[in-house]
Amino acid sequence: MPPDPGPPQDGADVDLGTLVQQLRERVAERRQAGEYPPDLEATLDRHYESVAGHRDRETRLRALGVAARRLGSKGFDRQRIDSSSEIPFGSQVHRVIAKAVARQTDGVLRQLSELASELSRILGDIVDLIPEQDDFADLSARVDLVLDRLVAYEKAPRGGTTAQRELARRLDEVETELAQNRFHPWYSQEAFERSFRGSRQQILSAYASLADRFHNCAPVVDIGCGRGEMLELLAGRGIEAYGIEIDEALVEVVRELGYTVHLADAIAHLESLIDGSLGGIFLGQVIEHLSAQRAADLMALAALKLRPGGRLIIETVNAQSLYVYAHAFYLDPTHIRPVHPAYLEFLAREAGFNLVEIDWRSPVPAADALETVDSLEAASQDGEHSEAMREIFNRNAARVNTLLFNDQDYAIIATR
């Protein structure tokens, strides 16, 4: 009897032709000895034919040999993955995706290695696994499953150089999709802010009280500094500060005003700083533009980069106000989601901030808010109490209807 071929050694090439020939000889000898059903070899051939299809035997053996070598391959050089990108700040995204897919590829390679070992084990021990006829159906199903998986992996190889090409292709697809989904407005962000956020003087007035909270907190970084209103307020108070902005046009606007600003990604910039090197961090109407993960990461980084006693101020839209959804929030197409104040407070405490306050800001204009009945007393002196009550009630009802039950659709009709 030929010697038991045993499982292949780790890293060794699998000569499936020799292995199959040895197994066939063992099958023939044991069949002659009456140790298992005489039609076993033909049945196994049929199972293989069902997944190998039209290929001739030598072609199938060569394909299985190639597949087995792929399955046994454990080499994978992540450093060869191209992490460059034409998208602004896309390299960081590309590297993160590459790491994630590399982990998945490692898992696939481990599964393939296990599959190769399982296949060799089944072929090597096939005689011992069939002591009697009743066990054949279960074994044949297992062999069929393994061969199905092998052919599937053969059709979609992920090992060696092929895997690297496949990985690069998938990363390119992801990068292309990111580029397509990224918003590229043809209008200037400065014009947008001037139209919908308010004039520079209005923002300076609104942010003055927040700038006061940075007393003795230099240096301050204004993340998403926009037109530089906070930088102007801090400079006027003698507080060292600089801005971070991803919009090139706004960077030029701020530089022309004489303030220091860097074209950079917020997360990447904070990661580059020495821990405890900042006295203050300001985000004005920024966090609602971030994904949940980036918002959480930014909070953790802020706690790390601020020195003890440093101050983080995040101003954003109030998710508890329905008025916000009907007015400010959906005016900006780059807004992702409002951040609930309770969650932001929780995030700050979990990140390590000791004192967390909520400063409620920007009350609804009086013309849009519900009226009180303080004027009824004066109105009643003229004998018009009920009429005044009716008018106030109707105005309040109209405002509530406008806020909660306004028309559900609208159409823009433009003519030129």
For residue 209, the domain's CATH number is 3.40.50.150
Tell me what pLDDT residue 11 has: 45
Q: Residue 6: inside a domain, yes or no?
A: no
Tell me what pLDDT residue 175 has: 65
Q: Residue 9: inside a domain, yes or no?
A: no
Is residue 147 within 8 Å of 51, Cβ to Cβ? Answer: yes
Q: Residue 113: inside a domain, yes or no?
A: yes
Q: Write the pLDDT tens digit of every residue in 84-100.
A: 555 555 566 556 565 65
Same domain, 198 and 336: yes
Strands of 258-375, DSSP E? 261-263, 278-284, 306-315
Same domain, 264 and 316: yes
Residue 337 main-chain phi, psi, to 5 deg: -160, 145
Tell me what pLDDT residue 77 has: 44
Q: Residue 358: inside a domain, yes or no?
A: no
Tell me what pLDDT residue 334 has: 80
Tell me what pLDDT residue 225 has: 95
Is residue 329 within 8 Å of 288, Cβ to Cβ? Answer: yes
Would you say the pTM of this structure is higher than 0.75?
no
Per the structure, the complete domain to which residue 396 belongs is given by 365-416
Same domain, 156 and 283: no
Q: How far apart are CA 176 and CA 169, in angstroms?
A: 11
Tell me what pLDDT residue 214 has: 94
Which residue ranges of the chain lie beneath pLDDT 70?
A: 1-20, 22-23, 27, 30-31, 34-168, 170-171, 174-182, 372-385, 404-416
Around Cβ 336, how many Cβ atoms within 10 Å? 14
Tell me what pLDDT residue 252 has: 95
User: How many helices (H) and strands (E) are present in the chain, helices listed first?
Assistant: 16, 5
Q: Residue 359: inside a domain, yes or no?
A: no
Same domain, 264 and 369: no
Residue 313 β-bridge partners? 282
Where among 151, 181, 211 does a domain terminate?
A: 181
| Among the listed residues 144, 51, 145, 159, the one whose alpha carbon sits nearest the alpha carbon of residue 112 | 159
Same domain, 49 and 137: yes
Total of domains in the chain: 3
Q: Residue 10: inside a domain, yes or no?
A: no
Q: Residue 339: inside a domain, yes or no?
A: yes
Q: Residue 75: inside a domain, yes or no?
A: yes
